[in-house]
Structures are given as structure tokens and as C-alpha cells.
A and B are shown apart, each in its own frame.
Chain A
Amino acid sequence: MKNMIKHGLAVVDSPYDESGRKRTVVEKLLLGLTPSQYLLQAFRNPFNWILAAIFAIGIPILLGRFVFGLAWATSGSNDYPWGLFLGFGLFAMVPLSSSGFQLGTACEIFGRHDLEPIERLALLNGLLGYFFAVVYLLADLGQPWRLPYPMVVSFGPAAVLFLVAWHVATYLSVQVAEVSTAFFEWIGFPAGKRGVRRITLGLTVSGIILSTLHQGALGALFTYAPGKVHPLWYSSSFQWLHFFVSSLPGGLCMVITVSTIASKFMGWRADRRFREKLDRCTVSLAKGACMGIATYITIKLIGIAHDNKWSYLDSGWGQWFMLEIILGFMLPLVLMTYGVHTRKVNIVRLGAFATVFGVVLNRVNTAIITFNWKLPEREIPPWREVVISLTIFAIYIVVYRFILYRLPILYKWRQQEEEVPVTETVTVPAAGRREASPVAVASYSNMTKLD
């Protein structure tokens, strides 16, 4: 794509093309390229080759899982009922997707309008993360077609999983609504956007409630199994708090991670506002994440002290636990604090990667690795399970990229009214042109009036 832009190709960021004609949906879908140009650029991208390789192997196996059953695809054991699909796909994806409600809260509730350039990315990150957590869940459920049962057929309202199911389902719809503003802009349906804007506060507050509850609930699921999860990862009174609090830095750092990757590989798709404000936003997010991590480490220690579990630290499990805490939480805390103080954004980013790693490791540890720690043997996931998990993750990346390329997430969709004076000649390189255009840098205050 970068090359094409260099060769004078305009980037789609408004309903009209260079000649002032309204773009069709197909044109928008193809990013303003002709089909052959589109294929060419897709073909040139080496990352697509990797993806193609993953899909070539992974998709048949994913389908095979539904044809041949769980036993064929997973370790399918009675002692370890939850494997990678849930341990990684559900338990790790959900905390990494808490960004939606956090940035929603910061922007809409606390009035942190300076974070707005990154708000939509955070909302999208939330939506996709949850959505794919559900996809992983579908791959794991014995009877995926019965997923709606807790909603419509048979209720077990006293169960924590019931809360998780309902909250994730409602929260998914909240997030669809939140992200839909970008979609409505893109397809040109301002009435829809106005409608959603009007209920934004309601959506945001319900987002906070639902997130607090189901992030915590995921942790509370393990309180059904006292003694099965290793005591260092288990706390009957604080499990939900540990999960909830660690999801906060997890989500923020995931946004830092994604925005870093996006600005590196999709720079052409971001507008000037995003590119200029990104470092600042990153630092702000990192500040929040540092608070979260510090709190998390504290309550984790409180958890250990509360049940007096210090002696467990002096064992193999204890070392593994310390590794998780030090590499996944303390190191990033130091890195990010240092980075924030010295404004070394790349160090902040490094810390954010480490945090994402730490949160994933924590969930995988709780759900799989230390689960049933008293049993003599550990279960190693079979290769098909690994391949399917990878494939679903690759689909997640593809969908993420597909949306970032198109919807106004990293850039602002130029509105109709503002479009009129912008009739430049095609010869101006697109990237440069956008920066020169006065409308692209519309400030937030203009935005709100428009809405």
C-alpha cells in the first residue's frame, strides 16, 4: 500500500473521490484501488504469505474439529477440561480487550479528550477481542450450537458462568454500538451515528459495569475449584479482584501494542492527528497502566499474605510464580515508569509488550499450567489444538487489519460539509495532500458540534 501511495494513489478518507463523485461501497472496500491493483498489493505483502500458510493448514483442521469432534482436536482429558482454547483464547483475550471500556470511561466520563485520537482504536480492540474470545469459546464448546441456551432455553442464574455469558453478550452489543459510529461514517449514515452518540454516556456506563463484573467473574470461575489451582495463583476472596485489576493494565498495554504495530505497518492509514498525538497518548495510557500494575502487585501480595502462602514461594511453582510477577509485571512497571519520566516512548512500548505477555502468562498459568497442580503429570496441548488456536488468532489479525484499513479508526472521516472545498488535483501525493488539507485536522470541538 505504501508504494502505491508513493505513486500518487489517493487514500480513501472521505465519501468522495478526487473528482468529487460519491464513492461506492465496493470502491471503499477496495480502498479506492481497482481490483487488480488491490490484488497486487495484497500479493506483494509478505505478511499475507505467512497468513496464507497458516490458513492453508489451519482452516482444514479448524473445520475438522467440528467434523471429528473435540477428542480429535484437543487433548480431550477429563482431568484438564480446559485447554488452550479457553486458557489462551478466552481467559487471555478478554483482559487484553478491557481497553474499550477504559478509554470510553476516560474520554466520555472523565472528559480526557486528549486521548480521543486513540479512543476508537481502543474501542475496536475491545470489540474484536471479545468477539474472538467467543469464537474460541465456540471452538471449545462441546455443543457450540447451544451457545444461546443460557440466554433463552435454560437459566442457571446462580452460576458465575451465567454472569459471564450474559455480560459478555450484552457487552458485545454495547461495543458493537460504540464502534458503529465509525461504521456509520464510513457507509455514510449520519443519522445512525447521531443516534449512537446520543446514548454514548449510557453505553459507556453500562460498559464499565459489565466489564467490572465479567472481568472479575472470569477470575471467580476458579473459586469453584479451591485446591485445584495452585495456591499462588488462587485466592478465594480476591480472585475476582486479581483478574479485574490485572485486566486494566492488560487492556491499556494491548492498545499501546496494537497502536505501535499499526503506526509502524499502517502509517499510511493513520492521519496526522493520530501520528502526532500517538506518543503523548501512549505516555498517558502507560501512566494508567503503571497505576494498574502497582495496584495489582500490591493486591497480589496482600492475597498471599492474607492466606499466609509465603512458604509456597520456596518451590518450583514459587519460582515460576516469581518469574511471572517479575517479568510480566515488575519489569514492565519499571520500564514504563522510567519511560514515562524520561519521555522515552519506545521504552514505554517495550514495557507495554511485557505487560501483555505478563497478563497472558497469568491467565494461561491459572487456567492450564497450574490447574490440577497436585496431579502427577502436566498436559501438553496436542499440535492440532495449537494449530487451531493459532489459526483463530490469525483470523483475528486479518479482521483487525481489514477494519483498520477501511473504517475511520486511525484517521478521521472527512465530513460532507467539509468536503466541498477539497478538490485538489490528483498529482499531489496523497499523504502530503491530506496533511495540507485544513479539514483533516478538525479539532475535537468541531467534531462534537458536528455530531
Chain B
Amino acid sequence: MKRRNFLKACLIGGTTIAMGKTNKGWASGSFEGYPESMGVLVDTTRCIGCRSCEAACNKEQNLPEPDTSFDDKSVFEEPRRPTAKAYTVVNQYEKQKPGGPVYRKVQCNHCNEPACLTSCFVNAYTKTKEGAVIYNSKVCVGCRNCMIACPFNVPGYDYESVTNPVIKKCILCYDTRLKVGKPPACVEICPQEALTFGHRADLIKVAHERIRSNPDRYVDHVYGEKEVGGTSWLYLSGTEFDKIGFDPSLSNDPIISNVKDFLGMVPMVLSIWPALFSGIHLLSKHDAGSEGHDTESKEEDR
């Protein structure tokens, strides 16, 4: 009686979880992104490393004062990454090359299928219909799993804070600008028009158009068009992408597809194991009763 109830509970639990899962978004193999998604096209060949985008972001997002001023060029000596205090950083590459240094702005790429989102166990991240990946710091537990998962090493963590250490990253200026149809602060301020804001679908066309009309200037690739399922921030480059800090080994599949093998196994275990092991239990009981093979245990029982 008890056992049967237990089995039933397991089966029901198993199937609900299984179905919940399928709805929730790991049936995402051929997901094409959000039709209204906005994005930013970064043309690294136009960027001069003035860092005014960093300054604009700092102001827009009310971030703490930087250690050195935004005019300080010495920061280019070491590559930097976004942190809790700087949602975006500009790095310098190819310093020794005759073509001069190449600059590249780094921030959250606002993936179509964000690994940070799918790995977060309290659902702190949201992908808005405008394409921004925002987060709810009120529920963040601080497990830093999203930092493990993000293929671009973006989320920064507020390790210094004692009372409210949470994840911080670029939110595409969602609250203050994107929501009301304005371009992000960093895009607006860029003196070189290295950053172009628009519908993601249009930006992809613009990017390919630039490559087509200027094949000598650009590598024939739009980084972010396909990588990890596509991102809202897209990059054009004049040198190979791996030379300016991009990871060329990322697959075009979203990160979550790596996890699917395991997630698919979960409902199987939930539904098969109870029956399997209860069955074995019944069998072994039967064996012990007859003159079964279980000699060792009989010996002990004597």
C-alpha cells in the first residue's frame, strides 16, 4: 500500500517535472531569437579607444568612481574584463602591428539564449523582448553559477559588498533608455559612430553590407551573428577575431544544448528507478525465502 503510493507520487512528480521542463525552454534547438530584438553593432575598425563609452556607462548606471580617470591610457597595458564596478571596458590589441592598435569594447553581449539565464536557479535573469538580458538582484543568492556559465566571462560580482553582494553587468541601459526606445548611453556618446544601435535583424544586414562593400577592411565574419545561438551585440573586425580577444572556439549552439543530455536523463531516472529498484527488492526478498543464491547473507543470518 505504502509502496504503491510512493511509486505513484514518484511517477507523477517525474512526469510533471519532465513536462515543465519541455515548456520552459530547453526545446531550443532551432530557436531564432526574438523578432523585435534590438542590438548594437560594434565596428572595431572605427574605434579609437577614447573610453568615453566607459565614462557614459559609469554615469548612466550610477557606478562608483573608477580608480583612474577615463582619460588614463595606461589601463590599456593589461587586458581588462567587465566587473561589478565597470559594466564595460575597452581593451587594446595588436599594439605592435603596423596597422596600429585595435580597440574593442567589451560588455555583456545579450545572448539570444543566455547561458547566465539558463543556469540561474532562482531565475534572476530575464531576456526582455527588446533583447536586453536584465537581472533581478533582489533574488540573486550569490552562487556565481552564471559567471561559470557565461561564455564571454561577463558577469561581475560584488565581492566587496558584505550585505548585498550580487551580480552586476551591462543591462543594455534597459531601465533608463531601451524601454523608452532610446539608444544606450555608450552608443549615444561614441564620437566615431563605432557603435550602431538598431534592430538586430537590420544590424546583421548592415554588417554584411559593410563587409561586402569594403572587403579589404573587414574579416568576412560577423561575430555574434551565430555564436552560442546569436547575440544582440555584433562585432566587425579588421583582424582575425581571435587576435582581438574573441573566443573562436565557441560553437553556434546555445550553451544550454550542452546540458540537454543530462536534463533529458532526469525524467527517465525519476520514472524508471522507482519501479526498477522496488522490483529488485521484491525479487531479492523472494530469493532469500527459497534456497536462493544469496548464500553469504544466509550465512550471516544464522
A interface list, Cβ under 8 A from B: 66-71, 74, 76-79, 81-82, 105, 108-114, 140-144, 146-147, 149-150, 153-165, 198-199, 201-202, 204-206, 208-209, 212-213, 216-217, 219-228, 236-237, 239-240, 277, 371, 443-445
Contact = CB atoms under 8 A, between A and B. Distances in A.
A297 B261 CA distance: 21
A142 B249 contact: no
Contact of A155 (B123, B153, B160): B123
Nearest to A114: B300
Contacts of B26: 158
B258 A226 contact: yes
Nearest to A165: B121
Nearest to B160: A71
Contacts of B12: none
A223 B140 contact: no
Interface in B131-182: 136, 139-145, 147-149, 151, 153, 155-162, 164-166
Given A144-B142, A158-B118, 7 more contacts: A78-B156, A81-B145, A82-B148, A142-B158, A142-B159, A156-B124, A157-B17
Nearest to B144: A81
A443 B277 CA distance: 26
Given A155-B123, A216-B265, A226-B255, A209 B157 contact: no
B294 interface: yes
Nearest to B288: A111
A225 B149 contact: yes
A235 to B, nearest CB: 10
A249 B164 CA distance: 40
A113 B301 contact: yes
B296 interface: yes
Contact of A160 (B124, B162, B262): B262
A112 B301 CA distance: 10
Contacts of A109: 277, 280-281, 284
Contacts of B118: 158-159, 224
Interface of A is mostly: helix
Contacts of B265: 216, 240
Given A114-B299, A158-B25, A443-B301, A227 B151 contact: yes
Nearest to A161: B121
Nearest 6 pairs between A and B by C-beta? Answer: A142-B142, A76-B159, A81-B144, A142-B165, A220-B262, A224-B149
Given A212-B273, A220-B259, A159 B301 contact: no
B20 interface: yes
A225 B149 CA distance: 5
Contact of A199 (B2, B119, B255): B2
A198 B2 contact: yes
B20 to A, nearest CB: 6
B250 to A, nearest CB: 7
A53 B183 CA distance: 59
A205 B159 CA distance: 41
11 contacts: A76-B160, A105-B277, A111-B294, A113-B300, A161-B143, A164-B121, A199-B2, A205-B10, A221-B119, A224-B258, A226-B151
B144 A223 contact: no
A425 B262 CA distance: 62
Nearest to A67: B162
Contacts of B50: none
B194 interface: no
Contacts of A142: 140-144, 157-159, 161, 165-166
Q: Which of B119, B148, B261 is packed against the most chain A CB atoms within 10 Å?
A: B148
A223 B262 contact: yes
A206 B288 CA distance: 23
Contacts of A68: 162
Nearest to B125: A156
B3 interface: yes
A161 B145 contact: yes
A216 B251 contact: no
B21 interface: yes
Contact of A236 (B258, B287, B294): B258
Contacts of B157: 76, 78, 81, 142
Nearest to A224: B149
B219 interface: no
Contact of B165 (A70, A105, A221): A70
Contacts of A159: 118-121, 123, 145
Given A69-B160, A78-B81, A225 B121 contact: no
